[in-house]
Structures are given as structure tokens and as C-alpha cells.
């Protein structure tokens, strides 16, 4: 396969061509030439106004629902949603049925995605059935190719389990991902605890639930390092998923100043809404962590700007109609986000396109111990093509589920195509 991309702006801080408009020739899955006015020579020509290219985007938090809940999403549909969102690699959470706590389930998912445009990385469960009671065989799962360990939708509540997990994984140079939430403080909670929840009579989920658990996790990480003799690799040992409050950002900022091996991400949709937007009880806005206050939003944007927040994720959480189209307090938490993550980051993060791309590419790859991808002659072509200034209307989703508030809305920043594993999808 021979593809020539005409007049494309390269967005890659590690590339000598960063910021330059060039032609890129791809042959047999590799970038063979980067230059100006390259000869066509029978190549498939692709071009568009305002076109940019970066290394392929990585999403660190996706719920696939397969196996077990294929009516919400299966591996084929999550693949299509990821492609149209510009992602060439995604990390799938273990919260399927069965939970990814065995090598059989892990290999089923990995093999399903082999050779596709989107590489499927699998995060294995910390505890059996993600119930927070008994450990999984983490060493075997790591050897089988688990990209990280997390109970996904179920934050690790037990402090002893959390500490031992850190100690088990450190000699493996493996990553623990945890979403901080003290569930005793959020039981029956429906939205952020604040003025809006009081006005509409909804049980609130206090910021304190996130901040107390995060403080615990950071203290236990520090304690584990003091008790351990293993050397640090320069990569995070603990990754905090879905930061949503001002104090949580401050805690992570201070932890990094101390030199703790910690990283974190924020969901793209968290940048778009605040708790006051739930006044009309739209269940598509019911997420966990919930949309917070304006003060929290400002802190998240500042955390993105100063590098405290390392990555932006979609937190793609598909649900069928029966799980969302009912009373607010009975609806499930979650939004589909693969197809809109880049647009929301472009519109609401306050970051430059170059910095957004970094939080979708090199930063996730560093956190996940993935091989670095860059735009250079001789490199394998793992690429995302996009137009950051182009407006578009989100009219169709490729996910099986439609639980998103953005359908029918005009967004800014569109994906034009992806190239990976010797294959191109252009739209």
C-alpha cells in the first residue's frame, strides 16, 4: 500500500519536522519520505485544507462491555468508534462479564484486536471479579500482556489491598490505575454535592470523597516506596484516573514536587460541563466522577496548562437505552466519549493543539510503558490526521450506544483519518 499525504502540518514535539507543512509518503506501513512536492508515482493521494498529522492517539480509559454486555458495545463497535475519534490505541477496562481476571479473557480481547487499525491494550483487574476482596494472579496476567492493573469502575477501597498491590507491582515495573472515591461518602449520590444538588433535591457526591481517597493513595504510595528497595524507572507506579476537583489537582501537584512516581488524567467531558448544567435532569450528564463546580473546572484547566494533569481520556462508558432513558436517580453513570474527546479538548481545555496532542500521544505512552511513536523517515506509520480548526456536527455515532449529550451539536476539531498496521481509514 502506497499513500501520499499532501501539505500536512506535522504536530510532533519529538520530530525534526514539528510545525512544518510537508508531504508524507507511506509505503508498506512505513514512512519512507518526508518532503515538499513529492512525486505521486501511483500513490493514493490524500489532502484537505488545514490538515494536521500526529503520531496515533492513545486513550487510556475505555469500557468495551465485551464479553458479557455486547448489546451495549462489542469489540467491533468500540474499534469503529475509536477510529472515528482518531485513536489508534486504546486501553480497555476489565469490567466485562467475566471480569478480566484470567489469562483466557485477556487473550480473547487481545486476539480480537490483533492486526486492526486500533490496537487493543487490556488492563487486568486487581481483585477477582473487581470486588475488592481477593487478589488476581497479577504476575501471570502481567506476563500474559496486561498493560496495567485496575478494578476500573470499582475504586480499590481496602487500604491493605492497595498497599500490597503497589508492593507486588513495583518489581514488575507495572502500573496501578485507580480512581479515587470513598464510596461510603458517595452512597446513593447522584451528582456533585453543592448548591445545584440542594436546589433540585438530589443526593450529592462530595468532593471530599475524591480528595480523602486520593490523599490516602498518595500516602500509601509514599509509604510503599520507603519500605521498598526497588529502584524507580522514571515512570509512574500509580496513575490516578479521572481527577475532578481543585484539591485533588493540588494534591497531585504537591506529590509530583516531592518526586513521587504518580501521574493522572482527566476526562474530556469534564471540561465541557459543570454541576449547574444538570438542572434539567438530562441523564446523559450523569457521570462519575460528577460534573463539579466552576472553581474545580478552573483548577483542572490550570492543572492541564502547568503539566500536573498528564493525559486526557475519553472515559468512554456506553449504555443501552434502558440504562439511561429513565428517572435520573435510576439511570446509570457514564457518557460515550471516543468520538468527541479531541473536539472537547480543543474547545474547552485552553491548551494549544500541540499540547493537546502531547496529552493524547507521548504522555500516555510514557505512562503505559509503550514504545514511543514519532514522525520520521523509516518509522512505522502510526498516525492520526485531523483538522483542529474545522467545525462539524456530531450527527452519527459508531458506538452501539448513544448516551452522549453531544449528538446533534456543532463541535470544533475534526478527525480526518488514521493509519496503523499498514491500513488507512479516511473519512
The catalytic residues are: 315
Query: Which residues neighbour 200 within 8 Å (Cβ) at sequence distance 6 or greater?
Result: 278, 279, 281
Residues 84, 136: Cα–Cα separation, whole Å: 34
Residues 427, 425: Cα–Cα separation, whole Å: 7
Query: Which residues neighbour 187 within 8 Å (Cβ) at sequence distance 6 or greater?
Result: none
Nearest to 159 by CA among 132, 138, 137: 132
Q: What radius of gyration, in Å, describes the C-alpha atoms of the chain?
A: 21
Q: Is 427 helix (H, G, I), strand (E, B) or coil?
A: coil
Return left, alpha or beta for 201; rule: phi > 0 is left, psi -120 to 50 is alpha, else beta: left
Q: Is 218 helix (H, G, I), strand (E, B) or coil?
A: helix
3-state helix vs strand vs coil in the chain, percent to 5: 35, 25, 45
Half-sphere exposure of 179 (CA within 13 A, CB side): 19
What's the full length of the chain, in residues? 427
Q: What angle do CA 51, 53, 56 make, to 5 degrees?
A: 140
Nearest to 352 by CA among 19, 6, 23: 19
Amino acid at each position: 500500500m502506497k499513500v501520499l499525504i499532501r501539505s500536512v502540518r506535522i504536530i510532533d514535539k519529538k520530530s525534526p519536522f514539528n510545525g512544518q507543512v510537508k508531504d508524507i509518503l507511506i509505503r508498506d506501513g512505513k514512512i519512507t519520505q518526508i518532503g515538499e512536492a513529492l512525486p505521486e508515482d501511483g500513490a493514493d493521494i490524500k489532502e484537505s485544507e488545514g490538515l494536521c498529522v500526529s503520531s496515533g492517539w492513545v486513550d487510556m480509559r475505555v469500557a468495551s462491555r465485551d464479553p458479557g454486555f455486547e448489546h451495549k458495545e462489542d469489540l467491533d463497535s468500540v474499534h469503529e468508534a475509536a477510529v472515528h475519534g482518531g485513536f489508534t490505541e486504546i486501553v480497555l477496562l476489565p469490567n466485562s462479564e467475566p471480569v478480566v481476571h484470567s489469562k483466557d479473557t485477556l487473550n480473547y480481547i487481545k486476539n480480537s484486536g490483533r492486526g486492526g487499525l486500533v490496537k487493543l491494550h487490556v488492563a487486568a483487574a486487581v481483585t477477582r471479579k473487581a470486588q475488592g476482596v481477593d487478589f488476581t494472579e497479577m504476575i501471570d496476567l502481567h506476563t500474559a500482556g496486561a498493560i496495567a492493573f485496575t478494578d476500573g469502575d470499582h475504586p480499590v477501597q481496602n487500604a491493605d489491598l492497595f498497599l500490597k498491590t503497589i508492593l507486588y507491582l513495583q518489581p514488575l515495573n507495572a502500573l496501578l490505575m485507580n480512581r479515587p472515591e470513598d464510596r461510603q461518602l458517595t452512597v446513593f449520590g447522584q451528582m456533585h454535592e453543592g448548591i445545584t444538588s440542594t436546589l433540585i433535591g438530589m443526593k450529592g457526591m462530595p468532593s471530599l470523597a475524591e480528595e480523602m481517597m486520593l490523599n490516602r493513595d498518595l500516602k500509601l504510595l509514599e509509604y510503599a516506596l520507603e519500605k521498598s528497595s526497588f529502584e524507580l524507572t522514571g515512570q509512574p507506579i500509580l496513575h490516578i484516573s479521572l481527577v475532578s476537583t481543585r484539591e485533588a489537582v493540588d494534591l497531585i501537584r504537591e506529590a509530583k514536587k516531592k518526586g513521587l512516581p504518580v501521574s493522572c488524567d482527566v476526562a474530556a467531558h469534564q471540561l465541557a460541563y459543570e454541576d449547574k448544567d444538570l438542572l434539567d435532569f438530562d441523564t446523559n450528564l450523569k457521570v462519575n466522577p460528577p460534573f463539579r463546580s466552576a472553581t474545580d473546572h478552573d483548577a483542572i484547566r490550570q492543572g492541564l496548562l502547568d503539566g500536573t494533569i498528564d493525559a486526557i481520556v475519553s472515559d468512554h462508558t456506553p449504555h443501552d437505552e434502558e440504562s439511561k432513558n429513565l428517572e435520573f436517580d435510576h439511570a446509570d453513570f457514564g457518557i460515550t466519549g471516543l468520538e468527541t474527546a479531541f473536539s472537547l479538548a480543543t474547545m474547552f481545555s485552553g491548551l494549544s493543539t500541540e499540547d493537546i496532542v502531547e496529552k493524547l500521544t507521548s504522555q500516555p505512552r510514557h505512562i503505559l510503558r509503550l514504545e514511543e511513536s514519532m514522525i520520521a523517515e523509516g518509522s512505522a506509520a502510526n498516525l492520526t490526521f485531523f483538522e483542529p480548526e474545522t467545525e462539524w456536527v456530531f450527527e452519527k455515532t459508531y458506538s452501539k450506544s448513544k448516551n452522549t449529550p453531544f449528538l446533534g451539536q456543532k463541535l470544533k476539531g475534526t478527525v480526518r483519518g488514521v493509519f496503523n498496521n499498514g491500513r488507512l481509514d479516511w473519512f
